[in-house]
Structure 1
Amino acid sequence: MKFRKSIFSGSIIAVLAAVLLFTGTAQAEVHLNMGSTSSTSGVYAWCVAAANVINKADNGIQVTVVESGAGMDNLRKISAGVFDFAMAIDLPGSLQLYKGIEGFEGKQFKDVRWLFLRNIFADRLYVRKDSGVTSFADLKGKRFCPGIPGSASAAYIMQYDEILGHNIQLVPSALGDAITALKENRIVGLQKSSGLYNMDASLIEVNLTTPLTVVGYSEEDVKKIQEKIPYMTFLKREKGIIKEFPDVGPIWEECPIAGAVATASMPEEVGYQIVKAYVEGFDEIASAYAPIKGFDPVGDYFKNAGDDVVPAHAGLIRYAKEMGIDVPERFIPPEYKK
């Protein structure tokens, strides 16, 4: 079921969605396509686990997980109506779509809505330990995979390279292809979104046979990047903070908010039921994807997003208010009715 606007869509879709959700008949279901990421990514397990808890909830919603090129690809397909909602999204990419800037210059989509938070993560720079690379600047002239083609994190690395003038030989690749190239020493490293304190699961086995290390940005790099892209978030990571790399640090890493987005045309009731199912099934999802542990999928968006935000979905706002969570005015979209 696509929630796209038409002459008849507004009130009729909302009424039909409510009827479908609460008639209790086996055939009365809302079917949604959910964008995810590459099936070889550790984040894919989170996407599948989230879909499972939504599908198991008694809410009339059935979600189909669709493999994709992750962040920016998902955002393009959200705005085109291919996906009803999408995971593996970060806030900076969503802001680009909402404002029609950077990767979405001239393609503004004001109807994108934040649905729930996954975690705050690191777009981490992994390199072969034998490469001699100790910083982002050391990648100059070397072959490096910035991420999956079409992903937000790959686009950011390309922007950073341009801003800092390093002329890195960037080779966007599917994760499986990048790992093979890394093992065969055809690239010196790759970017992989990871938990703040741990190596990404997809690289644990790689590290056993091809020892890796982590590099970051300098404080001067961060200042130059934020002069051009002020909404990007970087954190200083002290020595030993990444469990598998006790000798790494201090370094600066790009650490955005990640989660799921929908659109304003998804009815409030549908968004509410998705958020409710996700929160109630949180422990099950965390057992499949540990990096979400310790994060509040509802309240942490309102606490950690800066002044520049993507409006929250009406269903998320409703759930937050029911839980007694404060929702500042800047998150309220025009379609939300108190």
Structure 2
Amino acid sequence: MKRFVKFAFVTAVIFSFAAAASAATFINIGTGSTGGTYYPVGAAMAKVWNSSIPGMKANAQSTGGTAQNLTLLAKGDAEVGFADGLYYFAYEGKGQFDGKPMKNIRGLVPLYAEPIHFLVAKGSGIKSLKDLKGKRVSVGAVGSGTEVTVRTLLKVNGIDPDKDIKAENLGLSDTATAFADKNIDAGLTVGALGIAGVVEITTIGTAELIDFEPDAIKNLCKELPYYLPFDIPANTYKGQTKPVKAMASWNILVVKDDLDKDLAYNMTKALFEKKKDILNVSTRLASMAPENLKYIQVPLHPGAEKYYKEIGAVK
């Protein structure tokens, strides 16, 4: 009899653990490198979801960034992914996604903008992209997203980056050094507002930000539709007393359309209700706001849309 009771107890425990496991919701979040913004923010979001949604088991996974996150989503190895503008090409089946559109991508939350910064050495006389001809210009590290974007920007505005300028493949920290050593005349770089390298350059005063001309903005946004006109707010950087005309690509959270509607609703709601916890990790997420839904260029997930309708952010 004792053995039977013991067996029954053990069986009950096993079934209770099995029931608990089956009730758990596992969410893998594709982020970025551990040294970037995506990963620590993703970890903060996982913590918010785990504490707010019963049974949630969310985990932030370090990845190579947007491209890998989209691959993980496609394979079912991630349920949520951080993504820059590349998600638009994935949805449309363009570029590296040619012939393989990911029409099941849905937007969950807008995150923050990454504008193109147009930096010129003080006294260089450079006032527009056309003035870059014959100049020494930092175009980003070899193979980086910055280099791809900058080369596209120059080409659609009538500048051959291989012939018309003296292109320097420099990362942002090396660009700062090159300005300090007077080895370059200008630099074009992509990064979030307040990015460290631009802060360093403008604080030292070796270079300043200038406006992109309207046609330059129009031409790039037409070529790369995930870029939109964007003003870098006044006083973002030292000595920048007025807004600077630029263009930016928005980072967003993407999911697939088969994510449970109620779950997507609760995930979206939790992020906004506990936004302060995420801001403690990165102030860049101050722009994670319903009014920035207009920058998401794929359909919203129905669960997220339900939340935004409740708060009056969408009709």
1:279 aligns with 2:272: yes
1:99 aligns with: 92
Code of the aligned partner of 2:111: R
Q: Deviations over 1:179-209 (max 9, x none)?
A: 66666666653413223xxx32454345545
1:254-269 superposed matches below 5 A = 254-269=247-262
Taking structure 1 as reference, are residues 294 and 86 closer, same or farther at Cα in structure 2, changes over 3 Å only?
closer
1:145 aligns with 2:139: yes
Alignment RMSD = 3.8
- 1:317 aligns with one of 282, 301, 305: 305
Contact in 2 for aligned 1:128/1:211 (Cα 8 Å): yes
* 3-state SS of paired residue (1:159): helix
1:326 aligns with: 314
1:300 aligns with 2:302: no
2:148 aligns with: 155
Contact in 2 for aligned 1:215/1:248 (Cα 8 Å): no
1:28 aligns with 2:33: no
Contact in 2 for aligned 1:149/1:173 (Cα 8 Å): no
1:336 aligns with: none
Report the alpha carbon displacement of residue 35 of structure 1 after superposing the two structures with TM.
2.3
1:85-234 superposed matches below 5 A = 85-90=80-85, 93-129=86-122, 133-140=126-133, 142-146=136-140, 149=143, 151=145, 154-168=147-161, 188-195=186-193, 199-201=194-196, 203-205=198-200, 207-208=202-203, 211-229=206-224, 232-234=227-229
Code of the aligned partner of 2:190: K
2:60 aligns with: 64
* TM-score normalised over the length of structure 1: 0.68
* 3-state SS of paired residue (2:99): coil
1:241 aligns with 2:234: yes
d(CA) in 1 for partners of 2:266, 2:174: 38
Contact in 2 for aligned 1:149/1:172 (Cα 8 Å): no
1:20 aligns with: none
* 3-state SS of paired residue (1:125): strand
Contact in 1 for aligned 2:31/2:62 (Cα 8 Å): yes
Contact in 1 for aligned 2:43/2:59 (Cα 8 Å): no
Contact in 2 for aligned 1:129/1:213 (Cα 8 Å): yes
Taking structure 1 as reference, are residues 284 and 171 closer, same or farther at Cα in structure 2, changes over 3 Å only?
farther
Code of the aligned partner of 1:315: G
Q: Deviations over 1:94-113 (max 9, x none)?
A: 32211112453323110111
Kindly tell me the number of residue pairs found equivalent between the two proteins. Answer: 290
Taking structure 1 as reference, are residues 81 and 155 closer, same or farther at Cα in structure 2, changes over 3 Å only?
farther
* 3-state SS of paired residue (1:255): strand
From the CA coordinates, give the structure whose radius of gyration is larger: 2
* 3-state SS of paired residue (1:194): coil
d(CA) in 2 for partners of 1:230, 1:193: 18
Contact in 2 for aligned 1:43/1:88 (Cα 8 Å): no
Taking structure 1 as reference, are residues 221 and 184 closer, same or farther at Cα in structure 2, changes over 3 Å only?
same
1:50 aligns with: 45
Report the alpha carbon displacement of residue 160 of structure 1 after superposing the two structures with TM.
1.5
Contact in 2 for aligned 1:46/1:285 (Cα 8 Å): yes
d(CA) in 2 for partners of 1:126, 1:43: 25
Contact in 2 for aligned 1:149/1:174 (Cα 8 Å): no
Q: Deviations over 1:107-164 (max 9, x none)?
A: 311011111011345232345547665433344453423478464x553323212211
Contact in 1 for aligned 2:221/2:229 (Cα 8 Å): no
Report the alpha carbon displacement of residue 282 of structure 1 after superposing the two structures with TM.
0.4
* 3-state SS of paired residue (2:84): strand
d(CA) in 2 for partners of 1:215, 1:160: 16
* 3-state SS of paired residue (1:32): strand
1:16 aligns with: none
Contact in 2 for aligned 1:124/1:253 (Cα 8 Å): yes
Q: Deviations over 1:209-244 (max 9, x none)?
A: 57342234212223333454556411356xx82432
